[in-house]
Amino acid sequence: MTFRPLAADELTEAIAKAALDAILIIDDEDRLVYANPAFEAMLGHDPATLYGERIHDRIAPERYRAAFRQGMRHFREHGEGPVVGTMTELEALHQHGHEIAVELSISRLALHGRWYAVGVLRDITERKQAEDELKRARDQFQSLTENIPGLSYHCQFDEHWTALYVSEGTELVTGYPAEEFIHNSVRTLQSLVHPDDTGYVADRINTSVAQKRGWDIDYRILHRDGKVRWVHEKGRAIFEHDGSVAYLDGFVHDITRRRRQAAFQEIVATISVDIVDAPLEETDDAIHRAMERIGRFFEADRTYIFEFLEDGRLMDNTHEWCAQGVIPQASRISEVPLEAYSWCTEKIHRQEPVHVPDVEALPPEAANELAEFRAQSIQSLLMLPLATDGRVFGFYGLDVVRTTYHWDDEEINLLQVVAEIFATTLARRQAEQTRKAQARLQAMVAEISAEMVNLGGEGLDSAIDRALERTGLFFGADRSYVFHFDDHDTTMSNTNEWCGEGVTPHRETLQSIPVDSHKGVTEPILQGETVHLPDITVLPEGLTERAELERQGVQSLLCLPLFIEQRPYGFLGYDMVARRRKWTDAQITVLKLIAEIIAGAFARLDSEMALRRSEMKHRILFEATSDAVMLLDETGFLDCNQSTLKMFGCASREEFIDKHPAELSPPVQPCGTDSHSLADEHIRTAMDQGSHLFEWQHRRVNSEIFAAEVLLTAMNMEDRQLLQAVVRDISERKRAQEELKRQRDHLDRLSSIDGLTSVANRRRFDEALEQTWKQTVRSGNSLGLLMLDIDHFKRYNDHYGHLAGDDVLKAVAEAISGALPRTTDLVARYGGEEFVCILPATDLDGAHKVAERIRAAVRSLAIPHETTGTGRVTVSIGATALRQPTPEMSGPLELLKTADQALYRAKEQGRDRVVTMSSQNP
């Protein structure tokens, strides 16, 4: 059949051209016979190029073409089809390949004996987009209301606030299913309000509706579990055109935790101030007050602190508070072995909380703990590790004995804050106690050394007995003693012994004991090794020395070798009878020094005895002691022993003789005086006074410098006044003393650093401000001070959590430190989110510039803060400076007050800014 396009009269053509919808006519062979201009505008096809073509192959997407072909066959055969006379939404294919949403209506036309299909296409892209957007908005609203942790409502403004809609979050807030409130089917929204708050809530809502504004209120509700909860409600009324109330919309969320957290933070602040301000001797009282506050806040029956003893094997209940009617336990829990409660203490050492909501549900491996908890009537408990610098030294705990309790994660985090305060306080006290103990220890070692050096043989036994008593008491041993080997190392005898109160002495029964019968102890001693047995049961059963130690009631043992001239002389020993003990490396190091001092004293005693037996007294003395011994006069050395040659690295006496002491010394001594002049001065002093003890730096032949203790003793030999010099290498002692000093300095430094941010703490700031103030008064310079506060930090913690808040504090502290221009400037954490900076020799303009640098540095961190207008973490800064303070001024307090006022104004003016105020000291 020959194809020709369908002709139209002028009126029809005009109507088709004017139509905004695309119009096309298809014959019964599915060929396009007519299309109006809107068709080309909509789909991009020139109709003239499509006439006679199968139109569905050009404008229908592939997924529709089979249906089109089937429909056209039916239309050709019957002149009708299932879509004729209907409106269908589908997609049409544009000339450029993309799809357009259209609405298609089809009608039929009989003309010249043939059937034609007339299609009208309307572009519905914008309408579909609007519908999709509406659906997305509706879905988002549904998702928001159903997933936010709170109660969303839509209710009538009537007596019961009849609910038309409540979200699924209702059950989280109230404990009741949402459907129970719809149309008051089971209960009403109004019935949830605590009776004491009903009038207040109704008045606030009615007043807000009358004033056509929203309400924002906190009040209490009665939860399904019978407990009172605090909620925050924010809502508004929706009005009709005539001004009447159509309904109420609002949102309610549980703020019980927030209010409880705020109350707890106040307690923590009070505790922190109380403990920090307390003198060290009053720390225990401050801790007990804190434990009582925390115990009452969490309704615990008992709170307590256990501290691990220095050997790490035992623990003591050092602090305890009990509620009324609860039996205290501290008196019965003393020096408890950690291994007896390994299930708990292993968790504590891993710095994990021990949370036991029900002690009866403890695992089998916690059988010891279960027995003890039952003995104390404990039903639930929580233990938190006490740790500083990664070292765990105890734990803080709460017991519940009259009911059971499950602490949630938030409560555990809050209590961890208290544990950190306790840990910091106890660590500070331990550091101070350690410092004082180290000072006493150094003094004791020095006194024992001086007494041993200056003694003759007649008083040595008494001096050793005193040394045993002093060291035994200082280190808490139960028994201390000295054993001496015979000349052939075949037998040994207990020559000196001290026993603590109530401990049985054994010296009389420990004489001429075969050395071989106690090889477990004597073999290491003979090799110069220390024997340390924290638990003697590690010795094999049936061993002679184990049986002997058990007979003496010994539980732990420490023995240190005594050597003279590289030959074993005996050993110094310490026993623990009342309990087991593991000696620390630092303690063993100090006792090695004591052993060396005692060995030296025995060496001198042996030398003196040998001198009495020999006409060559000085030669025997020289060779019998492990110390370097030499004879000298004003000009130099006359003689020396083998220990001297070994000490100085000389191959022979000839290499040593005739040298002045300065020739075997560095040019200058540590005091700054040249060695030659100072040596002559020491020689004259010894000649005048008879003896002279001092420390000196010597130099070996290989140029190695070493510290020495020198005793010069005047003596007459063949009518000639000479000096005997006893030189002891004290390098090891010096290193031990330096290590003790380093540890003390480290502890002092830690006590002045904020544990979280690593900048100076409040204590360090107070000291530095007072010191800088005095220096400024003397120099006549200016003194600047900045006070900073992280803006809306509480919101940040509430929104992101305390761990993220801690990270912000660290980052801001680092930014402040990096922005300070000089090493003399000091940044300190003043408290919470507040920091202060001391700026020596800085006027008001300089303080303002530094403050702006800090503010910019914090902003540049770009830490997100969604709850603020800036969208990031910022700081407000108060800056002040005082010019040329004078001694008549009272101190830096006015400077602090002015900086605080400036900070207040910076917050008042919108935050994220610097406000500068000049300081005037009265």
| Three-class DSSP labels, 281-319 | HHHHHHHHHHHHHHHHHCCCCEEEEEEECCCCCEEEEEE
CB-based contact 785:837 (threshold 8 Å): yes
CB 393 within 8 A of CB 430: yes
Q: How far apart are CA 866 and CA 672, in angstroms?
A: 63
Selection from 293, 344, 356, 354 nearest residue 321 by Cα = 293
pLDDT digits (tens, 9 = 90+) for 205-255: 999 999 999 999 999 999 998 888 899 999 999 999 888 999 999 999 998
In 3-state terms, what secondary structure has residue 384? strand
Q: How far apart are CA 340 and CA 206, in angstroms?
A: 65
DSSP state letter for 678: H
Percent of the chain with pLDDT over 70: 92
Check pLDDT > 80 for residue 558.
yes
Q: Is the pLDDT of residue 532 over 90?
A: yes
Residue at 238: amino acid letter? I
Across residues 595-601, what is the average pLDDT?
87
Q: Which amino acid makes up residue 402?
A: R
Count of CA atoms in the C-beta half-sphere (13 A) of 641: 23
| Mean pLDDT lowest among 374-383, 524-533, 599-608 | 599-608
SS (H, E, C) 534-563: CCHHHCCCCCHHHHHHHHCCCCEEEEEEEE
**Contact between 99 and 92 (Cβ < 8 Å):** yes
| 381 in Cβ contact with 395 (< 8 Å) | no
CA angle 141, 144, 149 (to 5 degrees): 150
Q: What is the pTM of this model?
A: 0.43
Ramachandran angles phi, psi of 102, nearest 5°: -135, 160
- The structure tokens listed for 743 are 């540890």
615 pLDDT exceeds 50? no
Distance CA 218, CA 581 (A): 58
pLDDT tens digit sequence for 456-496: 556 788 888 999 999 999 988 999 999 999 988 899 999 99
> Nearest to residue 326, comparing CAs of 234, 408, 399?
399
First to last CA, the chain: 115
Q: How far apart are CA 384 and CA 482, in angstroms?
A: 44
What is the Cα–Cα distance from 533 to 556, expressed in whole angstroms?
Answer: 6
Q: What's the Cα-to-Cα distance from 809 to each of 386, 407, 907, rounded to whole Å?
A: 22, 27, 19
Per-residue pLDDT reduced to its tens digit, 105-143 = 888 777 777 778 888 889 888 888 877 776 775 566 565
b/e map of 217-249 (b: 16 or more CB within 10 Å)? Answer: bebbbbbeeeeebbbbbebbbeeeeeeeeebbb
* 562 Cβ neighbours under 8 A, 6+ residues apart: 482, 568, 569, 570, 571, 572, 595, 598, 599, 602
The DSSP symbol for 723 reads E
Q: In whole angstroms, what is the distance from residue 56 CA to residue 613 CA?
A: 133
For the stretch 693-710, pLDDT in tens is: 999 999 999 999 999 999
Give the number of other Cβ atoms within 10 Å of residue 443's Cβ. Answer: 10
Active-site residue (options: 320, 411, 709, 833): 833
CB 522 within 8 A of CB 529: no
The torsion region of residue 586 among left (phi > 0), alpha (psi -120 to 50) and beta comes to: alpha
Q: Using CA atoms, how far apart are residues 854 and 914, in angstroms rounded to an integer? A: 10
> Cα 625 to chain center, whole Å?
54
Residue 413, Cβ density class (10 Å: 0-12 exposed, 13-18 middle, ≥19 buried): middle
Indicate the range of 10-14, 173-177, 317-321 predicted with least confidence: 10-14
120 φ, ψ (degrees, to nearest 5): -120, 120
Q: Mean pLDDT across the stretch 441-466?
A: 80
- Give residue 687's Cα distance to chain centre: 61
Asked if 432 is an active-site residue, the reply is no
Strands 875-882 and 914-918: parallel
- At residue 145, the pLDDT reads 56
CA dihedral (507, 512, 516, 518) in degrees, to 10, reads: -10
Q: Which of 64, 576, 160 is nearest to 335 (CA)?
A: 576
